[in-house]
């Protein structure tokens, strides 16, 4: 008997995980990726909770653990180089399963375990589709037509398939009032810490030491202006953001411009849709419910969502029933994570100097055990909530 076929738009974390899990459910997959190869953005991400458990069940934990980064503490400095506080992660992550890895590492691990039933096709995009009820016809940008049993949009927060499915994004995009930039570059010789953050009102710059003598950098800053991610001179935009930052931050930003590298810049925008599917077409991962990096759970939820989808398909009488079951199980978890992101956004990077200093005083004097209890309780509640809706 021929296995049913799912076509997946996008070969990021969500798309690759879906290909792996759908094989377990008896499906074949064809992933359509517009880039020429798997994208290698080197920013750091954390796996914990549901995503960590899914990675273990996929058999990629040991691979990720071998390439994970041991971040003992994060030193926060202000724009003058004065120490604001130190967060020693193991002081409040005691006993909490957690992996800090580069996105590149996770994507490569997922690619390496893809089954024979999964096919990747690069440099192509989905131009359109027609849902016939019993099947879906997908048209690629070269005019080729393909028939499938399920079409999955896993093409990220700026999903083109989402617009094809539900129309213009409109109110489903919910900006949090921040932008972020990620890139990596050669580490200066004087850089001698694993993880350092330069914080100032309205802006945070973080640098992680990588094993290959490079730095993974991330900037997050407040700005409500729309469309900054469309600017062509992204390094120039970042230089403007860092104009009043610590000299080391400005130096590294200048180094970025000299290197010619192009940072990835986008707004922190959540996706809030009343539904994630229509007929035999569905959205997965950031395309459906982008949680933003404020939640710290984006990649993990992409992994967990793919597993839940496969379980729903394996245990349902029809594709439509499976998609409804998948959403009913996952939506309570993502709703809680999005609500937490909205609350945290207000204090993530304070805009005024008064709020900035007040936040620092609170963080400096808060017992680390309180933070540990908060994170542990939150992750356990999300796991229990997902299991309760299974």
Residue 379 is predicted with a pLDDT of: 55
3-state SS string for the chain: CCCCEEEEECCCHHHHHHHHHHHHCCCEEEEEECCCCCCCCCCEEEEEHHHHHHHHHHCCHHHHHHCCCCCCEEEEECCCCCEEEEEEHHHHCCCCCEEEEEHHHHHHHHHHCCCCCEEEEECCCEEEEEECCCCEEEEECCCCEEEECEEEECCCCCCHHHHHHHCCCHHHEEEEEEEEEEEEEECCCCCCCCEEEEEECCEEEEEEECCCCEEEEEEEEECCCCCHHHCCCHHHHHHHHCCCCCHHHHHHHHHHHHHCCCCEEEEEEEECCCCCEECCEEECCHHHHCCHHHHCCHHHHHHHHHHHHHHHHHCCCCHHHHHHHHHHHHHHHHHHHHHHHHHHHHHHCCCCHHHHHHHHHHHHHCCHHHHHHHHHHHHHHHHHHHHHCC
* Lowest-confidence segment of 135-139, 223-227, 377-381 by average pLDDT: 377-381
Phi, psi of 389 (to 5 degrees): -100, 10
Query: CA–CA separation, 269 vs 252, rounded Å?
Result: 26
Q: Binning pLDDT at 50, 70 and 90, where does residue 357 land?
A: confident
Model confidence at 369, in pLDDT bands (50, 70, 90)?
Answer: low
Report whether 199 contacts 81 (CB < 8 A).
Answer: no
Average pLDDT along the chain = 88
Q: Answer whether residue 1 shows pLDDT above 80.
A: no
Is 70 exceeded by the pLDDT of residue 373?
no
Residues contacting 199, CB < 8 A, separation 6+: 76, 77, 78, 84, 349, 356, 360
In the chain the domains, ranked by start, together with CATH numbers, are 5-69+103-170+272-347 (3.50.50.60)
| Bridging pattern class, strands 277-278 and 281-283 | antiparallel
Q: Which tokens go with 100? A: 């800090």
Question: How confident is the model at residue 211, as a pLDDT?
Answer: 74
CA-CA-CA-CA torsion for 204, 209, 210, 211, nearest 10 degrees? -170
User: What pLDDT is recorded for position 319?
Assistant: 97
As a whole number of angstroms, the distance between CA 34 and CA 153 comes to 13
Residue 176 has pLDDT above 80, yes or no: yes
Nearest by Cα to 222 from 324, 345, 127: 345
Average pLDDT over residues 342-357: 81
Whether 323 and 310 have beta carbons less than 8 Å apart is answered as no
Task: Indicate if the pLDDT at residue 69 is higher than 80.
Answer: yes
Between CA 369 and CA 5 the distance in angstroms is 49
Instruction: Please tell me the distance from the alpha carbon of residue 54 to that of residue 61, in angstroms, as a whole number.
Output: 9
Model pLDDT, residue 304 = 94
User: Cα separation of 337 and 83, whole Å?
Assistant: 31
**Is residue 46 over pLDDT 70?**
yes
Tokens of 307: 């597993």
Q: Reply yes or no on whether the pLDDT at 94 is more than 80.
A: no
Summarize pLDDT for 257-315 with one digit per residue, the tens: 888 888 889 998 889 999 999 999 999 999 999 877 766 678 889 999 999 999 999 99
> Which pLDDT score is estimated for 389?
60
Instruction: Assess whether pLDDT exceeds 60 at residue 375.
Output: no
Q: Once rounded to an integer, what is the mean pLDDT over residues 337-347?
A: 78
What pLDDT shows up at residue 145? 98
pLDDT at residue 387 in the model: 64
Query: When comparing pLDDT for 19 and 357, which is higher?
Result: 19
218 vs 227, 284, 302, 353, CA distance in Å?
A: 19, 25, 21, 22
Instruction: Reply yes or no on whether the pLDDT at 370 is more than 70.
Output: no
Report yes or no: 126 and 32 within 8 Å, Cβ to Cβ: yes
Instruction: Answer yes or no: is pLDDT of 63 > 90.
Output: yes
Query: Above 70 in pLDDT, residue 192?
Result: no
pTM for the complete prediction?
A: 0.90
């Amino acid at each position: 008997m021929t296995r049913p076929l799912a076509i997946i738009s996008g070969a990021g974390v969500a798309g690759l995980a879906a290909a792996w899990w759908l094989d377990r459910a008896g499906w074949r997959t064809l992933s359509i990726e517009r880039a020429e190869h798997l994208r290698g953005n080197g920013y750091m991400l954390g796996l914990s909770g549901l995503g960590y458990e899914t990675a273990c069940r996929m058999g990629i934990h040991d691979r990720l653990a071998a390439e994970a980064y041991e971040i003992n503490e994060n030193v926060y400095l202000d724009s003058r180089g004065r120490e604001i506080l130190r967060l020693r992660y193991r002081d409040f992550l005691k006993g909490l399963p957690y992996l800090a890895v580069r996105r590149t590492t996770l994507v490569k691990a997922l690619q390496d375990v893809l089954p024979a039933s999964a096919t990747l096709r690069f440099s192509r995009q989905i131009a359109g589709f027609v849902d016939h009820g019993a099947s879906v016809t997908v048209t690629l940008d070269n005019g080729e037509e393909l028939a499938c049993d399920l079409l999955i949009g896993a093409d990220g927060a700026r999903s083109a398939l989402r617009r094809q499915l539900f129309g213009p994004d409109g109110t489903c995009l919910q900006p949090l009032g921040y932008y972020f930039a990620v890139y990596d570059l050669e580490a200066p010789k004087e850089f001698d810490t694993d993880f350092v953050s330069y914080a100032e009102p309205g802006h945070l710059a973080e640098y992680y030491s990588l094993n290959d003598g490079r730095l993974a950098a991330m900037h997050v800053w407040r700005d409500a202006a729309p469309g900054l991610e469309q600017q062509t001179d992204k390094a120039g935009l970042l230089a403007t953001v860092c104009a009043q930052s610590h000299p080391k931050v400005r130096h590294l930003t200048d180094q970025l411009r000299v290197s010619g590298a192009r940072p990835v810049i986008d707004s922190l925008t959540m996706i809030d849709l009343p539904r994630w599917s229509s007929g035999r077409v569905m959205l997965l991962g950031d395309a459906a419910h982008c949680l933003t990096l404020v939640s710290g759970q984006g990649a993990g939820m992409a992994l967990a969502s793919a597993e839940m989808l496969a379980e729903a398909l394996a245990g349902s009488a029809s594709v439509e029933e499976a998609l409804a079951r998948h959403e009913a199980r996952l939506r309570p978890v993502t709703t809680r994570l999005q609500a937490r992101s909205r609350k945290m956004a207000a204090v993530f990077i304070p805009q005024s100097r008064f709020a900035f200093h007040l936040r620092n005083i609170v963080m400096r004097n808060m017992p680390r055990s309180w933070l540990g209890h908060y994170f542990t309780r939150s992750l356990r509640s999300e796991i229990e909530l997902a299991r309760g809706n299974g």
